[in-house]
């Protein structure tokens, strides 16, 4: 009889946890796509800005292209009530109503906090209130949490006494604490770790529940910064998989300090990296070219390929780099990047051999920016790539 009871309770337990297991295996099955308020609005973001972004994501076609998360970054936080529950500040008078508005558009709402006492902007963090904050987010209807190290770094430095192993363990424990708090809500909330690649985050972030984790410092809307952090991702492909993504920070496409060609490099590189595609521009004021870059469904498909493989560098000779990304059904994306220095920019022919990107037979090729079929490629391919530009190809056996 005792054995039968044990079997009964074991089956009951499996029935209870199986939905959570299914949830964890399907959450962020492809890199998250959406918009974040920080790159354009920073500390000035308001409820009205977020609603306008949601409206623009629908009217521009971004939602239908896969951009579904509308993420509020830092400076939304107010004070805690007498019981310790966080309240939004006057810029966000009713967070639950905002979530309902975003959901009514077929979109999802993201929010921001820190494992430290204060956020990077000096607002209220989640330190000591992890369970309360997770429950509050779930009650509001939040679907995504960006959790930024910020002031917790001061606690790590003070308590680790300079021991990097102790500091690393503390950081992992802090992120795991919020992960457990999120699980207790029984609401699917994508968990985005923002810790700037500290302590080789790609090696441990999945173990503390991270669906994505920053691998770099902050991006800026400049060619030098974008390429520095983007091309530094070479070698990290083995750490990415469905539900778990390396994150080189948000997109700067459309913020105005790079050329359209440079933004195509930005979008192409992030797609090759299977990076989250989180736009950071003013969606209400997109130029046609910005819209074309962000809404290029063939490039998005490279990023969102269900195989879930990150691309990697094949070759680098001077400023010329060739990258390859495995796709479903034996296809591959191949990107040719011309990183020639801004002081001496020059267009240049670039080549790759099929055997160097994993093909032993001729392949069908398509240019994903010109949307042109190129026919069969035999042995090798050569094309002129503009300075600070890219040619992105889809190759099929």
Catalytic (active-site) positions = 148, 218
Give the residue carrying structure tokens 């004021």. Answer: 285
Q: How far apart are alpha carbons 120 and 38 in whole angstroms?
A: 12
The CA–CA distances, whole Å, from 22 to 68, 103, 118, 220 equal 21, 22, 34, 37
Contact of 78 with 89, CB cutoff 8 Å: yes
Q: How far apart are alpha carbons 280 and 360 in whole angstroms?
A: 41
Residue ranges with strand state E in 66-115: 69-71, 77-80, 86-88, 108-113
List beta partners, residue 381: 352
The candidate with the shortest Cα–Cα distance to 304, out of 3, 31, 15, 1, is 31
Contact of 91 with 298, CB cutoff 8 Å: no
The H or E element containing residue 350 is strand 348-353
């Amino acid at each position: 009889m005792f054995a039968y009871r044990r079997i009964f309770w074991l089956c009951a337990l499996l029935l209870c946890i199986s939905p959570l297991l299914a949830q964890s295996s399907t959450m962020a099955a492809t890199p998250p796509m959406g918009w974040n308020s920080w790159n354009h609005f920073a500390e000035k973001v308001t409820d009205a800005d977020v609603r306008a972004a949601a409206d623009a994501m629908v009217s521009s076609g971004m939602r239908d292209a896969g951009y579904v998360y509308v993420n509020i970054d830092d400076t939304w936080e107010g004070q805690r009530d007498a019981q310790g529950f966080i309240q939004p500040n006057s810029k966000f008078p009713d967070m639950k109503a905002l979530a309902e508005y975003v959901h009514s558009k077929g979109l999802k709402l993201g929010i921001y906090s820190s494992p430290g006492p204060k956020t990077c902007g000096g607002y209220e963090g989640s330190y000591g209130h992890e369970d309360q904050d997770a429950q509050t987010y779930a009650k509001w209807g939040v679907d995504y949490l960006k959790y930024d190290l910020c002031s917790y770094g001061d606690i790590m430095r003070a308590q680790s006494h300079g021991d990097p192993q102790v500091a690393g363990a503390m950081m992992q424990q802090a992120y795991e604490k919020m992960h457990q708090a999120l699980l207790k809500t029984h609401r699917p909330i994508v968990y985005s770790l923002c810790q700037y690649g500290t302590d080789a985050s790609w090696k441990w972030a999945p173990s503390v529940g991270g669906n994505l984790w920053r691998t770099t410092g902050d991006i800026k809307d400049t060619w030098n910064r974008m390429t520095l952090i983007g091309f530094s991702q070479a070698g990290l492909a083995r750490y990415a998989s469905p539900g778990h993504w390396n994150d080189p920070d948000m997109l700067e496409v459309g913020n105005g300090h790079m050329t359209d060609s440079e933004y195509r490099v930005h979008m192409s590189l992030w797609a090759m990296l299977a990076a989250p595609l989180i736009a950071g521009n003013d969606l209400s004021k997109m130029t046609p070219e910005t819209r074309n870059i962000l809404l290029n469904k063939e490039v998005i498909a490279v990023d969102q390929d269900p195989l879930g493989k990150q691309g990697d560098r094949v070759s680098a000779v001077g400023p010329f780099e060739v990258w390859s990304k495995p796709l479903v059904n034996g296809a591959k994306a191949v990107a040719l990047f011309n990183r020639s220095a801004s002081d001496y920019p020059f267009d240049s022919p670039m080549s790759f051999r099929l055997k160097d990107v994993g093909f032993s037979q001729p392949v069908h090729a398509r240019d994903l920016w010109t949307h042109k079929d190129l026919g069969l490629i035999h042995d090798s391919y050569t094309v002129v790539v503009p300075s600070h530009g890219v040619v992105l190809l889809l190759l099929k056996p």
